[in-house]
Amino acid sequence: MENFINLDKNMIVNKTIGDVPVTWHDVRNDPFEIHGLYQPKTESFFHRLPMDVAAATSPAVERLSQESAGGRVRFTTDSPFIAIRATYRVVGRSSHLTLVSSAGFDLYMDDDFGSRFVKEFRMPYDMESEYEQIYQMKNRPGMHSYTINFPVHSVVESLWVGLAPEARLASPKPYRDLAPIVFYGSSIVHGTAASRPGYIYENFICRMLNMDYVNLGFSGNAKGEQVLSDYMATLPMSIFVCDYDHNAPSPEFLEETHYPIYETIRKTNPDVPYIMITRPNFYTNQNTEDTLLRRDVVMRSYLKARETGDKNVYFIDGTGFFADAQVYECTMDHIHPNDTGFMRMGETIATLIRYILEH
């Protein structure tokens, strides 16, 4: 029987640009700006941690840090179309993730009214290591600033943006003049189960606040390792968000590692706002007692920090993210948020960050 993908014209992906004249631009070159990745303009592929730090943390983090979650490329152009050409070292595929999320890109237009979704860049289902795709920017004349979000669970080697030969190319609309928000945590921070890259909760926050960020989520493997805490403490940051509750093997393990991360970050960042978050799936997780024990551990870290006189530490109770009549509509698999869940997390965290910045 023929695959339904070949029967619905909206599901078909054009594998080539065709006869359209295209000038290709390597995003590692100016005026493109790349955010959320480690030295992206000089490294041989796009990744999130220095290789020595990743290797010293754990074999799993070494591999996961090579995935481009949270990476973004930004630019301004008046091209009547935008195309991409991407090559991969690893194409991420999973039974519970969309291919657009794990291996695709998506495009947003940034202006004075915010950042608006334009189009996803979908690869052919059988794509193995590279693809290209074009999108015609209908009824959008003039110069516009754009953001392309990188895949959540793939290793991208190169990305080229294709524009009309006569198109102008310039620097993007800038983020707010603040250091990035640094997010550390589990697969939820990593972005697992969002339907496309723009839906991970950090991207919601980034768009709502027009702020840069760094995604240091490592699916199943963020465990409060000291070597990684030491590295994160060296990063420029306006806010640090600690959200790795899910990855601790037990509440006891969380107790041993949670406050030391705070101490490490505080040692070199005494004035940076520090947000502690507990996991969100209280109502959908089968082991609610374990969730409450973990919440109490994080709460104790928060209270201990406050008792030292730290007025710039904050606590978000994750059990409240989805606490309403639609609680069961916010998760994909009882663990990971779906798009609705990620949006609610983003809105709640962004509300606190906005308050922090304004006070």
**3-class secondary structure for 176-217?**
CCCCCEEEEECHHHHCCCCCCHHHCHHHHHHHHHCCCEEEEE
Ordered per-residue pLDDT tens for the chain, 359 residues: 555 555 555 555 555 577 789 999 999 999 999 999 999 999 999 999 999 999 999 999 999 999 999 999 999 999 999 999 999 999 999 888 899 999 999 999 998 888 999 999 988 888 999 999 999 988 788 999 999 999 999 999 999 999 999 999 999 999 999 999 999 999 999 999 999 999 999 999 999 999 999 999 999 999 999 999 999 999 999 999 999 998 999 999 999 999 999 999 999 999 999 999 998 876 666 667 888 899 999 999 999 999 999 999 999 999 888 877 787 788 888 789 999 999 999 999 999 999 999 98
Closest CA to 80 of 171, 165, 17: 165
Q: Which residues of 8-25 are buried (b: 16+ CB within 10 A; e: fewer)?
A: eeeeeeeeebeeeebeeb
Query: Taking the complete model, does pTM exceed 0.85, yes or no?
Result: yes
Phi/psi of residue 46, nearest 5 degrees:
-90, 125
Strands 181-185 and 239-243: parallel
Q: Which domains are seen in the chain, by residue range?
A: 4-54+68-170 (2.60.120.260), 181-358 (3.40.50.1110)
Distance, in Å, from the CA atom of 119 to the CA atom of 97, rounded to the nearest integer, reads: 19
Q: What SS3 class is residue 337?
A: strand
Phi/psi of residue 35, nearest 5 degrees:
-125, 150
